[in-house]
Chain A
Amino acid sequence: MVTLSTMDLDALRAKIAEIPDPEVPVLTIEDLGVLRRVEERNGSVVVTITPTYSGCPAMHHIEQNIRTALNDAGVEGDVETVFSPAWTTEWMSDEGKAKLRDYGIAPPRHIESAVSITNVPVRCPQCNSARTEVISTFGSTACKSLWRCLDCLEPFDHFKEL
């Protein structure tokens, strides 16, 4: 193991930030806001992550991938999971939202208030139409709901606001 001083913390963070989400592989854990901190504590690296949903099965996988990245970099480190502050889609980067749209998933809307959100349409990621309707409030993963476009008639996933 090399000591931490030989490894630039920023470079390490950049490497970890590239780890993709196993369920929405177009997004990195940085885009999602799951990666909170990469810091040095008592000579070892602590990577802090937060789950999107309590039962998100991807978290174990993400943790394992971070450990592998630390190991590949020859750095001693640990992964810590925190719940507070609770993850919100507001942490998703604009870049992440654009990537989601290109991938065919309608990105989460900005949450100004609980009421205002329903006034903003969920746009079809295929044809950008605002004429869409929800098919099911739950989708193929904990973070998505299922919608359909009334113009191009394509069904699509929507990343739920949380």
Chain B
Amino acid sequence: MSANPNLFTYLLRLADDNMVLSQRLGELVSWMPELEEDIAIANLSLDHLGQATSLYSYAGTMEAAGRDEDALALTRSEREFMNAVLVEQPNGNFADTIARQFLVDAYQVPLYQALSSSTDQTLGGIAQKAEKEARYHLEYSSTWLVRLGDGTDLSHDRAQSALDRMWPFAADLFAADQVEANVVAAGIGVDPRTLRDSFDSTVARVVELATLRMPTDTYERTGGRTGIHTEHLGHLLAEMQSLHRAHLGATW
């Protein structure tokens, strides 16, 4: 198959969101307050890892340079990662983890829904599968955000601060440049800006149910799509990639 640099970059952006979020969630395994939540967080991590694997694998085909999903996930440097800065934010307390997850889910549901009708059958297939998973994730994160927001004074305050803290980074999910423009023109990709209405209405609905208020900070921290990250990604990658880099080419 011949190389398609635009689609390659587009797929990497989608894949990196899932890979980095999966790694963050994976950090929590065995650390959650209850066994049930530990299992839930591991399942979320696994779903995102699965989506990342499929997207990386297809991206490798579109790059046509012989890199497979492991090479793409585990040998690229911080500046080469193109995930939105939201997903690299540290787990913080449980409310931070839930707020980050909720914002990602509210974005991924309409994203995958739109991509399901991509003219690219492989990407469309991955999205059809992922859409069902994203809907289930959104149910989980919404339930928790409402439970925390509409819970005790302490959980309410923590949920509000978590939402306020994550909010400026959510803008990066909707950043787009020529790469998106090109894949949209080809009928393959989605302009993330068209997902904003759906995202906003989901957030507004759940925030109200959770007796929280919408964040008021208008600062938008973007740049992840071109490799300009917050300080946290480098540390995450160092841990995630160390084993692979120490034993390049090792197999089981």
| Known A83-B129, A142-B47, A162-B132; further 16 A-B contacts with Cβ < 8 A | A54-B47, A54-B53, A55-B46, A55-B47, A55-B48, A56-B50, A83-B125, A86-B125, A86-B131, A87-B129, A136-B37, A136-B39, A137-B40, A137-B136, A142-B46, A146-B39
Contact A140 B39 (CB under 8 A): yes
Contact A135 B36 (CB under 8 A): yes
Number of A residues, CB within 8 Å of B:
22
Check A138 for interface membership: any CB of B closer than 8 A: yes
A residues contacting B by CB (< 8 A) are 51, 53-57, 82-87, 135-140, 142, 146, 160, 162
B-chain residues with CB within 8 Å of residue A57 when the two chains form the complex: 46
Considering only CB atoms, which chain A residue lies closest to B130 in the complex?
A54
B residues contacting A by CB (< 8 A) are 36-37, 39-40, 42-44, 46-51, 53-54, 121-122, 124-126, 128-133, 136, 139-140, 143
Contact B50 A54 (CB under 8 A): yes
Q: How many A-B residue pairs have CB under 8 A?
A: 72
Q: Which one of B37, B40, B53, B129 has the highest number of Cβ atoms from chain A below 10 Å of its Cβ?
A: B129
Contact B140 A137 (CB under 8 A): yes
| A54 and B40 in contact, given A86-B132, A142-B46, A162-B132 (Cβ under 8 angstroms) | no
Contact B140 A84 (CB under 8 A): no
Contact A55 B128 (CB under 8 A): no
Contact A55 B50 (CB under 8 A): yes
Considering only CB atoms, which chain A residue lies closest to B48 in the complex?
A55
| A55 and B132 in contact, given A136-B36, A136-B40, A146-B36 (Cβ under 8 angstroms) | no
